Structure 1
C-alpha cells in the first residue's frame, strides 16, 4: 500500500506516543488541536505531530484517522467526524481504537453509513509505544488494509476477523483481567491497611504470592491513569453483561478508580511528573487515608 497520512485524535498519553513512533518510521502524521488542552498540545508538539487546525482539514488531508480517546469521548467524536466526512464526501478510513464495548463499537459504526468512509474496529493492548516497545493494535472489519500497513512501524497490528466488534471484544476481555486485577489489588491492600493487617498481609504475599506482590509494586503510576479507566471499567461491565455474565465486578472497579482519581496525588500528578520512587505502602497509605476522610 502507498504511503499514507494518518490523522490522530487525540495526541494524549497514548495518541502522541503512537504518532511519535509512526513519524520515526517515516509515516506522515497530523492532528487537529482545536479545543484540546494545553497538555495535549504540548504532547503533540513534543511528538512533532503537525497540527492542521480543525477537523475539516484533518479529514481532507488524512487517508486514515485513528480515534484514540477516553471512552466517554469516543462516541461523540465518531458522530462529529462522520458528519464532517459526509459533508466533504471524502473517501477515508476511520479506525476506532478506543476501550469500548463491542456493542458500542457496532452502534458507532452505523454513524458512517451513507458516507464514503470505511469503518475499522481497533483495540489497543499494551502501553504507549517507545523506541524499545510496540503495543498491539488488534483490528477487525471488512477492510482493515491501511491500519495493517502500519504493522512494524512503531506498533504491531494483528487482524483477528472480518466483523466489527471483534477487536473491541479482545480489548475488553484483556483489560477486564489486567486493569480489573489492579483495581482488586488496590481494594485488597487499602482494606488491609484500614483494618490494621497490611504488614501481615504483605508478609504472607511475599511468601506465597511473590509474583503477584511484584506486580502490585508496579502500580506507582495508577493514579495518573485512574480517571481514564473509570469509563473503561463501565464498558467492560457492559461487555460482560452482553455475554450474560455479571457486570458488577467491573462496576466496582470503576468505583475504585473513581476514588483514586479524587486523591490529591491524582489531581496533581501526571505521567510526566509523578513520583516514580513512591513505595507501594506510601501509595496505599494515601488511598486508605482518603477513604477514611
Structure 2
C-alpha cells in the first residue's frame, strides 16, 4: 500500500490528507504537535483518518510521496530539514507558494530524493483533490500520471524547477492584489456610506465578476481568514518581482493591506470564526 506523508496539516494539507487517506496510508507531521495545539491536532488527525507521527523523521521514513504544505515563510527551512532524511526512491513535493528562486534553492538540498515543484493553481477548498496542480521537475511527467491515479488533478508543466511556481506567483500578483484592493475600496466606501453605489458602479463596469453578489464577501473573507499566510506568500511574490528587476510596488501594498487587516482583528481579539456567517460589512463595522 502506498504511504504518503504530509508536512503541515493546516487548511490545504488537512483537506488533501483526509481525502487521500481513503486511498492509501497517510502520516502527518506538523510543528503544532509539539505545542499547545497538540491535542487539537491529534483530534483533527483522528477525524481525518490519518496517523500523526512523533517526529518529522518518523513521518517521512516509509513514505513514497512527501507533500510539503506549510507556510511560505517556513517552506525553505522545511525542505532543507527534510532533504537529509530521504532516500533515492522517495519524492518530495513542494506545494508551497514561494518565489521560483526559493524553490530552486530548496531543490539544491535534495541530493538523493527527487524534488518536485508543485504550483497549486486555485484554493484547495472547495475543489479538494480536484484542485488543479501544475507539476515541475525532472520526471515530472511520470509523477503527474501517478498523482492523477491517486485522484489528484495534476498537469505536467515544466522540467525546470521554478517555472510552474512563476506561473502561480505571477497569478498571485492579481488574485491577492484584488483581495487587498477590495478590502481597501469597500472599507472606505463603508465609512462614507456609499458602498451600494460603489458596488453598483463596479458591477456596471465588470458585470461578469459578481460585484452585485457574493464576490465582495468572498474576497474580503480570504483576507480575514488567511491574511497572515497570504501576506507571507505575497512577500515571496515581491522577492520574485525583484529577481525580475521589478520594484513590486503594488504587491508591497498588498502585503501591508493583507497583514494590516488580520493585525487589527488580533488587536480586538476578533476571530474569523466569530464572524460566521461572514459579511464584509460586519467586519468593517467591528474594526472601525
TMscore range, shorter length: 0.7 to 0.9
Are the structure 2 counterparts of residues 109 and 133 from structure 1 closer, same or farther at C-alpha, using a change threshold of 3 Å? closer
Q: Is the 8 A contact 1:8 1:68 kept in 2?
A: yes
Shift of 1:206: 4.2
User: Which stretches of structure 1, 4 residues or more, deviate above 4 A after TM superposition?
Assistant: 129-133, 265-268
| CA displacement 1:174-211 (0-9 Å, x = unmatched) | 22221221111111112333455434323423444443
Q: Number of residues paired by the alignment?
A: 278
In 2, distance between residues paired with 1:18 and 1:132?
Answer: 6
Look up the SS of the partner of 1:69 in the other structure.
coil
Q: Name structure 1 gaps, 5 residues minimum.
A: none
SS in structure 2 at match of 1:112 = coil
> Are residues 1:232 and 2:261 paired?
no
Give yes or no for the alignment of 1:35 onto 2:34: yes
Kindly indicate whether the alpha-carbon contact (under 8 Å) linking 2:29 and 2:52 is maintained by their aligned counterparts in 1.
yes
Post-superposition shift, 1:129? 4.9
- Report if the CA contact (8 A) 2:179-2:220 is conserved: no
In the TM superposition, residue 155 of structure 1 has moved relative to its aligned partner by: 2.5
**Counterparts in 2 of 1:228 and 1:77: CA distance versus 1, 3 Å:** same
Q: Separation in 2 of the partners of 1:130 and 1:203?
A: 28
Say if 1:233 and 1:60 are closer, same or farther in 2 by CA, change over 3 A.
Answer: same
Structure 1 CA distance, aligned partners of 2:129 and 2:186? 30
Matched position secondary structure for 2:107:
helix
TM-score, normalization: structure 2?
0.86
Name stretches of at least 5 consecutive residues in structure 2 with no aligned partner.
none
* 1:43, distance to aligned residue in structure 2 (A): 2.9
Separation of aligned partners in 1, 2:144 and 2:203: 43
Q: Secondary structure at the match of 2:117?
A: strand
Shift of 1:137: 1.7
**Secondary structure of 2:114's aligned partner:** strand
Residues 1:212 and 1:224: Cα distance change in structure 2 (over 3 Å): same
Of residues 119, 122, 126, the one that matches 1:123 is 119
Where do 1:60-79 residues align within 5 Å? 60-79=61-80
User: Against the structure 1 CA distance between its residues 22 and 224, is the aligned structure 2 distance closer, same or farther, given a 3 Å change threshold?
Assistant: same
Q: Deviations over 1:197-253 (max 9, x none)?
A: 434323423444443513213235321111111111111122222233331111111
RMSD of the TM alignment (CA)? 2.5
Aligned partners of 2:6 and 2:17 also within 8 Å: yes
| Residues 147/209 of structure 1: CA separation in 2 closer, same or farther (3 Å cut) | closer
State the alpha-carbon separation in 1 of the partners of residues 190 and 240 from structure 2: 32
Matched with 1:219 is 219
Deviation at 1:40, TM superposition (A): 3.8
2:90 is the counterpart of 1:92: yes
Residue 278 of structure 1: how far off its partner (Å) = 3.1
For residues 48-76 of structure 1, the C-alpha deviation after alignment (integer angstroms, 9 at most, x for no partner) is 11123212212211111110011011011
Distance in 1 separating the partners of 2:166 and 2:41:
28
Deviation at 1:94, TM superposition (A): 0.8
Q: Does 1:169 align with 2:166?
A: yes
TM-score by length of 1: 0.85
> For 2:252, what is the secondary structure of its paired residue?
helix
2:147 paired residue number:
150
